[in-house]
Structure 1
Amino acid sequence: MEILYIEAKRNNALTMKINNLYVHSKYDPINEAKNIVSANFKLNHLHVLFGLGASHVANEIATRLTEDEALLIIEPNSVVVDNLRDDDTFKNMIHKDNVELINFDGHDLDKLKIILSTYIDKFMGRVEIIVTPNYDKLYAEILLSVYKDIKDVLIHNIVNNNTRNMFANEWQKNHILNLRHFYQSEDISVLFNKIHQPIVIASGGPSLEKQLELLKKFRKDIFLICAGSTLNTLLINNIKPDLLVTVDGGINNFNHFKDINLEEIPIAFPLILHHKILEKNTGQKYIFSIHDHVVMNNITNDLLNAEISNIQSGQSVANFSLNIALKLTSLPICLIGQDLAYTNHYTHSLGNKNMKKIDEEFINNRKAFYTEGYYGEDVLTDYVFEGMRKSFEQIIENETYSNEVFNCTEGGVKIKGFKQIAFSKFLNDSIDDKANENFLIENNDLIVKEIPSEFINKINKKILDYKELLEVLEKTLKLFEQYHENNDYSFHNLSEDLIQSDNTIKTYLNDQFLFYIVSPVIYKVNHLDLKRDQENDQEVEGRLVRKSTVLYTDIEHSVSKMVRWLEVLINKINNKEFPE
């Protein structure tokens, strides 16, 4: 593309033409940039600027940024960036902490999505897109790709935030109450490289039904991993898996298992699993940590004086199951029932408690869309399934393994990177009658480790410390009551008194375990009651008081629940009944 720099007619600033199209005003590009930014700049937002040009719009946005905003510049043409390398204004702008420039020519979509996800999560979906003039004509396809990526990331961000808000409380409770099960479990690593049969991972998509007869016929010749709630379908058909992988901490996940006898079914789990599922399982348990939960893993290992093995995460229990399977064997692995689509307008296979036939209302609510299917046909999927599919593709792309991995679903979506063969062919080609015996711990060989007094003492110490913190929080909240009820107790008085309380509370929050529990509260409050344009002093004062009141109230609630759960844990260790 031809790039020309031309002196503007009304000042000494340079305007710019790319392929004979001006991307800034030829009269006054600086004033034009101010008008563009005035019309589009938003407080508390991430600003995505498509098109750097001569940097006039970017410079103007950067001058208006505070610590509460950020600028992400996407430039499709590397020559445009190179031409500005020696420009002092550009260099100063690009070195700001909340400004980032990426060169995106339409190819490295994964890198762009990772960067967008990081920013959009930080700003909780508050995004403003600005397009430099004529960049929509010069780079139409790339701009469409950027719009699509932002839309996809925003939808996944909404899903993730809803999940975080809905389940944060449950996950924390489960994590605490499940700590005792560490002493009744083996680390998942005891199974690594110990399975000498091909592995079949069964998921609960509608296409599973067509594979059940073959699964029964060859049951003794394979190692069968059941992904989560698929267990109901398998057991109805008298098929018992070798290993149940389940990770979900929600009550709905427990409801899948509450009427099932789990004593004879080995289970692989992380500590966030719903605690009542583990209470039902008195047989083999294999514990693992979720790789992405770095902070909590370190805290847990320190608390338990252990090193729990990590398993790469994903957006579904089947993603976890594949990551586990790749560590258990070097033999072939296949997926069945992994539709990730509404095959024949059904959600799940027969026997799954969530199975239902979908209708237009369901399709609209899920924002379902068509994508490429297993056989090249169009199949109906949605953004949640799409995220799971991409997780599978990332596993295949990034994981170092020697296995052959197949998708034998024979229905649903096409998952890139997976070889597609009929399930019957996989079984006939992969089974070895002379395979060595698999390693699994028999129930009568289970070793239940005594819970050490050191661990119990740590938990009791935390209970005492957190009760002390609750007293500090109670006194702090009384300061806010005093502020609202006493006209002589000013915002200045409140601010002075809060300094001492803040310092005390921060000391307690040095406890990483505690900080992890209250961090969702801090995250939520940081995005509430955001600053508004042209606030006066009284409005700023009111906003800060409201935010602080919500923050300390929510921290108090979180710490109270944490104390309660820790007390329940101690009583369960002592085999005492204690209401949750």
Structure 2
Amino acid sequence: MTKYNITYASTKVGRGTIEVNGYLLHSKYDPLKEAIRFVDKEINEQYLTVIFGLGKGYILDVLNDQKYNSRKIVIVEPIAEIEPIVDSKGYTIVKSSDIKVLKEVIEQSLTHFSREVRVISLPNYDKICPEEYKKLLKMVKDIQWLNIVNENTVRGQSQYWQENQIKNTLYAYCGSNIKALKAVYKIPVVVASGGPSLIKQLPLLKEIRSKVILIAAGSTLITLQKEGVTPDYIASIDGNKGNFERHFKNNDIGKAQLIYSFSNYFEIQKYFPNASFAFTDLNQLDLVNQLNERYGLDMQQLEGGGSVANYALSIARYISTGPIAMIGQDLAYTNNQTHAKHNISAEEVTDELIKTRGAFKIEGYLGDEVLTDYSLFSMKKRFEEIIQTIQDSDTIFNCTEGGVKINGINQITFTEFCSRFISLPIEKKLIIPTPKNRDLDILINIYIKEIKNYNDILIDLKLAVRLLNDVKNQKQFSIKILKELDKIDKNIKKRKENVLMNSILDPIIMDVMLKYESRHNETDKEKYERVLAQNEELYSRLLVVTEQSKSFVEEILDETRKKMRDNNGRNY
């Protein structure tokens, strides 16, 4: 039985209106004029506008007549029983109130971490469907906050990632690949993360320590060491020098081995005393192709996210077919703490911290409500996405016994995990990779060729900047200038395939794509000035990051030559 009482009525002007549960969706007099006023008042093409409600489709007529950008409009019709609109006029119409469907559509419409979204309701839809409207508003707010987190990460880390990806070619070339560990273990794995609940699991962890593979997620290493526990593997992805200074420099890590992403701070690999295994992120296809084709590294990609804990779970599944226990995975401010005891990032949760981080409450592990923030929330969402694709997910257990509920992951106590999977005798033997004999001359030649390609790209970029400077006072681009710029773009695109320049471009792409979108009713003069400014920013910023990337290659070339000299001219 439908919850909507729907009747159709005629209007003085137009093709009629609809009444739902006593509320009119359009004016009884002139629905089209009403729609024109609505569009003039509410639609701003600087935003992605989500319109809640469609009805008879007058809003479509106005948007189409006034030539509003169809990529900037999403229309949601939450009442399935209303007669469908046959002609969408090129606009995205979602006839559903399913929040998962709406989330997918809106995320696809938001490129480059944009958070400029407005949700507006057509008359009375928010009264007819109040719960659906609230869920839509909450979902959009979550997307906006997560995009803020992701954008801040990219902007803050892109230069570090670029340097690390270039310089880690040396250490991956001379070291090992995580492929050497694929499914080599058949025994249980414990993934230890740095949430406040970790401490209460450590006594039991010490009892079963010799029977499990223990993976420490990033900074969790310090807490474990302070409590007398040494992991078998340390998962590390943090690209900042502080990661090296705080957790690895002058730190006796025992026999622990390192599993690191290509974005991990390069000096960790440089000074790490034990075996290390490299991997790349699942989303770094361009990087992987270059590493495989030019460096012969045959890299393995793993699912991850904004946290090393996300990668640690993927690592655990990759190296072992045994059951996996996650401990310390609170993703919440358990016991009024941000992290476990001894963690360098640990803070007491204050009103000021709650306000600064925009903390909020969500469903907890124990069925209660717990306090989290959007950075932690993004990690939770990634776990929920990873668990849907990971192999044998039914053998993965959240044994944190605190913090947030991670949907899709089985919850049992750590005691139950140990009694079910670690009661029998278990033979554990860590894999120690055989040292490789690599020809450093090959690597040196790769670096030399890459520097030449960077120099060629710089010549093209400087020419593009000069051409744009010459046309500043003109009213339009001449055919000759357009052809020259097109030739430069093709040259750069081709040469970029032969250099490792990926992450450092992301902030430029975000800015160039988002800051210079066309505006409604833009004049030819305004369009020319916008495109000129867009290209000026693009080429000038590309010049800077190309110089930076080239300097990173020059530095690792010097390091490689030094390594060869230290080895008395022999290969490594």
Q: 1:111 to 1:348 in 2, by over 3 A?
A: same
CA shift for structure 1 position 494: 7.6
CA shift for structure 1 position 473: 2.3
Kindly indicate whether residue 411 of structure 2 is the aligned counterpart of residue 420 of structure 1. yes
Verify the 8 A CA contact 1:43 1:69 in the aligned structure 2. no
Q: Distance in 2 between matches of 1:278 and 1:299?
A: 20
> Which stretch shifts more, 47-56 or 244-253?
244-253
CA shift for structure 1 position 136: 0.9
AA in 2 matched with 1:509: K
In the TM superposition, 1:522-537 aligns within 5 A as 522-528=509-515, 530-531=517-518
TM-score (norm 2): 0.89
Give CA-to-partner distance per residue, 1:34-77, whole Å, 9 cap, x none: 11111112123212111121111133224444558422121223
SS of the residue corresponding to residue 305 of structure 2 reads coil
Aligned to 1:286: 277
Q: Distance in 1 between matches of 2:276 and 2:185?
A: 17
Q: 1:305 to 1:7 in 2, by over 3 A?
A: farther
CA shift for structure 1 position 229: 0.6
Q: Distance in 1 between matches of 2:113 and 2:236?
A: 31
Verify the 8 A CA contact 1:346 1:355 in the aligned structure 2. yes
Kindly indicate whether residue 160 of structure 2 is the aligned counterpart of residue 163 of structure 1. no
Aligned to 1:472: 460
> Which stretch shifts more, 224-233 or 60-69?
60-69
Give CA-to-partner distance per residue, 1:274-310, whole Å, 9 cap, x none: 1121112142111222112233322332222343222
**Larger RCO, structure (CA 8 Å, separation 6 or more):** 2
SS of the residue corresponding to residue 222 of structure 2 reads helix
Verify the 8 A CA contact 2:230 2:254 in the aligned structure 1. no
Kindly indicate whether residue 439 of structure 2 is the aligned counterpart of residue 450 of structure 1. yes
TM-score (norm 1): 0.88
In the TM superposition, 1:217-256 aligns within 5 A as 217-256=207-246
CA shift for structure 1 position 458: 3.8
Q: Distance in 1 between matches of 2:155 and 2:311?
A: 22
CA shift for structure 1 position 267: 1.0
CA shift for structure 1 position 491: 4.7
Aligned to 1:6: 9
> Which stretch shifts more, 293-302 or 510-519?
510-519
Verify the 8 A CA contact 1:197 1:438 in the aligned structure 2. no
Verify the 8 A CA contact 1:472 1:501 in the aligned structure 2. no
Q: 1:493 to 1:290 in 2, by over 3 A?
A: closer
In the TM superposition, 1:280-429 aligns within 5 A as 280-401=271-392, 403-429=394-420
Q: Distance in 2 between matches of 1:207 and 1:402?
A: 23
Q: 1:519 to 1:361 in 2, by over 3 A?
A: closer
AA in 2 matched with 1:6: A
Please provide the CA RMSD for this pair.
2.7
Q: 1:26 to 1:553 in 2, by over 3 A?
A: same
Aligned to 1:60: 62
Give unmatched runs, 5+ long, in structure 1. Answer: none
Aligned mate of 1:25, from 18, 27, 32: 27
CA shift for structure 1 position 260: 2.0
CA shift for structure 1 position 508: 1.5
Q: Distance in 2 between matches of 1:523 and 1:343?
A: 36
Aligned to 2:97: 105
Verify the 8 A CA contact 2:197 2:400 in the aligned structure 1. yes
Verify the 8 A CA contact 1:178 1:271 in the aligned structure 2. yes
Kindly indicate whether residue 539 of structure 2 is the aligned counterpart of residue 552 of structure 1. yes
Give CA-to-partner distance per residue, 1:311-355, whole Å, 9 cap, x none: 112332112111221233332211111111112211111211111
AA in 2 matched with 1:313: G
CA shift for structure 1 position 452: 6.2
Give CA-to-partner distance per residue, 1:75-112, whole Å, 9 cap, x none: 223333x6323xxxx24x1xx3xx32223223xx3343
Verify the 8 A CA contact 1:15 1:24 in the aligned structure 2. yes
In the TM superposition, 1:155-194 aligns within 5 A as 155-194=145-184
Q: 1:387 to 1:476 in 2, by over 3 A?
A: closer
CA shift for structure 1 position 380: 1.7
Q: Distance in 1 between matches of 2:240 and 2:26?
A: 53
Q: 1:188 to 1:64 in 2, by over 3 A?
A: farther
Q: 1:269 to 1:115 in 2, by over 3 A?
A: farther
AA in 2 matched with 1:126: E
Verify the 8 A CA contact 2:460 2:491 in the aligned structure 1. no
Aligned mate of 1:461, from 449, 458, 462: 449
Q: Distance in 1 between matches of 2:394 and 2:133?
A: 39
CA shift for structure 1 position 127: 1.8
CA shift for structure 1 position 365: 0.3
Give unmatched runs, 5+ long, in structure 2. Answer: 565-572
In the TM superposition, 1:251-290 aligns within 5 A as 251-257=241-247, 258-262=249-253, 264-290=255-281
